[in-house]
Structure 1
């Protein structure tokens, strides 16, 4: 309980401050607001253009997480269910090596590569690296769940005339849905909170994501702490909502 309290306290304080005026926050930062007002949220959403950056982050994070999930699940299925002795070992070693490489060491070569491919300052400058960096963990997690599925289920599907793709989409995916939800959440959270690549690869303001824009909100909101707290809450709300919607699947994946 103490650990949960320590984790939730900053979030609750920001939530409480987002409903208070600037004067209330300075005079009594620990008190409850005198009256609930959503003006800070409206000011952050429109005045600081949070709506634009929010949409950019949501589109980039969802697309990256979905493509990573599709490619990762197909790759994991091929590595665990198909017989490619030498190729499978080689790919597993490459993926393991990718997990050991620090993301910061890739910033300069990625920057030069994106510039040469004319993808710099486009959404693909984040989507492609996010997919690439999310694939290794996705493959290893999904492979672990696939190994727990008896091969008799697939043999029965083959007897019914299912192809490889039919087995994947009609047998494997429904069984492993909790693990897919968990992997999607992990990739989405990683993409949503990522700052370094978003700050380096997207110099144009119209393509900036919410984490990068949060740095500039302090000046844009003119020392308006209530609106600043509201902008922070906008970055938290999608993650909380997604967890509450998918929590049943996440708990099932942990139990299994």
Structure 2
């Protein structure tokens, strides 16, 4: 095979793959900017004749996408942030503090937590939320979201913290930093790529979660976007333009996160893969 073809072929294959992946999303965006379902059915894959942004206003206000969007946004962000902080503190204790037996025991429990599928815990979580009296409130989603993400979060952050040189810790202690100061001023800033990666992964998991939000929340004003979109779909099942607009709203935060934080995501995922 010629050298030129060897260089071009992988790029050509990747471009074809990108086109295949992006095509459904482009179709949805085009459909959301068309005025009616008739225009979509007449030319489903063609660009809109004119940009009809009224669909976005209608979906945002009339179809209550604004309520569902805000509920999902603040629940996903707060649960992800709290989960990252708890996981970071746990990882710091496991990797930088001298608790050999305790650290090994906790780490084994974390590994055990990764082996248990989340759906297996559904009934026990429901009973727990019911006994706590927080069913049909956002706390019923916040606590499972936060706790369910801890095993993977601790594993990833621990791998990154192990790669931080011990000399930095020793120098900080000589300068008079306490354990809290060492964690807040030295370890956390150096662990930022892993923290960002864990935050995004947890955020996406919370943002797309459907099972718990469907059974733990029955009030329409408290529903998150995945469960709200089901009612939205049933209400506007013949209006494909509005349905496409709702889909765009649901994927927009994910696209923005990846667009601005893709470098940190890659650095965090590869943390601990190379030693020395």
TM-score of the two chains, using structure 1 as the length reference: 0.96
RMSD over equivalenced CA pairs, Å: 1.3
| Pair 1:7-2:21 in alignment | yes
| Pair 1:65-2:89 in alignment | no
- Give the corresponding residue for 1:35: 50
SS of alignment partner, residue 179 of structure 1: helix
State the distance in 1 between where 2:126 and 2:21 align: 35
Q: How does 1:124-163 map to 2 (within 5 A)?
A: 124-163=139-178
| Pair 1:197-2:225 in alignment | no
- Give the corresponding residue for 1:89: 104
Contact map agreement 2:193 2:267 (CA 8 A) in 1: yes
State the distance in 2 between where 1:78 and 1:188 align: 24
Kindly state the Cα deviation for residue 6 of structure 1 after the two structures are TM-superposed.
2.4
SS of alignment partner, residue 37 of structure 1: coil
- Give the corresponding residue for 2:91: 76
- Give the corresponding residue for 2:250: 235
| Pair 1:221-2:236 in alignment | yes
- Compared CA separation, residues 255 and 114, structure 1 to 2 (3 A): closer
State the distance in 1 between where 2:114 and 2:17 align: 29
Kindly state the Cα deviation for residue 233 of structure 1 after the two structures are TM-superposed.
0.5
Deviation track 1:5-32 (CA, whole Å, cap 9, x = no partner) reads: 2222211111111101221111111111
Number of aligned residue pairs:
256
- Give the corresponding residue for 2:126: 111
Q: Indicate the structure (1 or 2) with the bigger Cα radius of gyration.
A: 2
TM-score of the two chains, using structure 2 as the length reference: 0.90
| Pair 1:245-2:260 in alignment | yes
State the distance in 2 between where 1:178 and 1:4 align: 26
The list of structure 1 runs, each at least 4 consecutive aligned residues, that deviate by more than 6 angstroms after superposition, is: none
Deviation track 1:145-200 (CA, whole Å, cap 9, x = no partner) reads: 01111100010001111111111111111111111111110000010011111111
State the distance in 2 between where 1:121 and 1:247 align: 35
Contact map agreement 2:160 2:268 (CA 8 A) in 1: no
Deviates more, 1:63-72 or 1:219-228: 219-228
Deviates more, 1:66-75 or 1:214-223: 214-223
Kindly state the Cα deviation for residue 222 of structure 1 after the two structures are TM-superposed.
5.3
